[in-house]
């Protein structure tokens, strides 16, 4: 079975540009999570969805960040405009509600903002 699929794997952009990260959760999973990982702050939860509905976006750092989940098989995280401090690895994870609680992570999108 395919795992969580994220794209792009690496993104280098200049400050002020728009960045869109994409995620395809595991088929049948109904909860989707966006995390950001940096050396300083570790893994931080940004936002999560249940059945395509955003449940909690309190971790989104600023209005420059937005996330959508238009259907059960696709989600985007957008940063506009991007800043150097947004440089991090962004992970998408999914799970099926009612299972053990394990989150399955994608391979991550490494973002560098120059």
Partner 1 sequence: QKEVEQNSGPLSVPEGAIASLNCTYSDRGSQSFFWYRQYSGKSPELIMFIYSNGDKEDGRFTAQLNKASQYVSLLIRDSQPSDSATYLCAVNPGDAGGTSYGKLTFGQGTILTVHP
Longest dimension (CA), the chain: 42
The closest of 31, 33, 11 to 21, measured between CA atoms, is 11
- Minimum Å distance from CB 93 to partner 1? 8
Instruction: State the number of binding residues for partner 1 (CB under 8 A).
Output: 21
Question: Which CB sits closer to partner 1, 19 or 47?
Answer: 47
Toward partner 1, which CB reaches closer, 65 or 108? 108
The answer to the question of residue 97 lying near partner 1 (CB under 8 A) is yes
Contact of 87 with 21, CB cutoff 8 Å: no
Starting at the edge strand that comes first in sequence, how are the strands of the sheet with 74-79 ordered?
5-7, 19-24, 74-79, 65-71
| Binding status of residue 102 toward partner 1 by CB under 8 A | yes
Q: Is 65 in the site for partner 1 (CB under 8 A)?
A: no
User: Based on CB atoms, which residue is closest to partner 1, 42 or 70?
Assistant: 42
Near partner 1 in 15-54, by CB under 8 A: 31, 33, 35, 42-43, 45, 48, 50
Question: Which class for 53: exposed (0-12), middle (13-18), buried (19 or more C-beta within 10 A)?
Answer: exposed
Cis? peptide before 81, omega within 30° of 0: yes
Q: Interface with partner 1 includes 56 (CB under 8 A)?
A: yes
Distance, C-alpha 36 to centroid of its chain: 7
- Binding positions for partner 1, rule: CB under 8 A: 31, 33, 35, 42-43, 45, 48, 50, 55-56, 91, 95, 97, 100-103, 105-108
């Amino acid at each position: 079975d395919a795992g969580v699929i994220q794209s792009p794997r690496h993104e280098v952009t200049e400050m002020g540009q728009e960045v869109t990260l994409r995620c395809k959760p595991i088929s049948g999973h109904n909860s989707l999570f966006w995390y950001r990982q940096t050396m300083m702050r570790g893994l931080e939860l940004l936002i999560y969805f249940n059945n395509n509905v955003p449940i909690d976006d309190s971790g989104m750092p600023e209005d420059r960040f937005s996330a959508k989940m238009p259907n059960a098989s696709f989600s985007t995280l957008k940063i506009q405009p991007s800043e150097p401090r947004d440089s991090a690895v962004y992970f998408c994870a999914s799970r099926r509600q009612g299972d053990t609680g394990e989150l399955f992570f994608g391979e991550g999108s490494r973002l560098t903002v120059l």
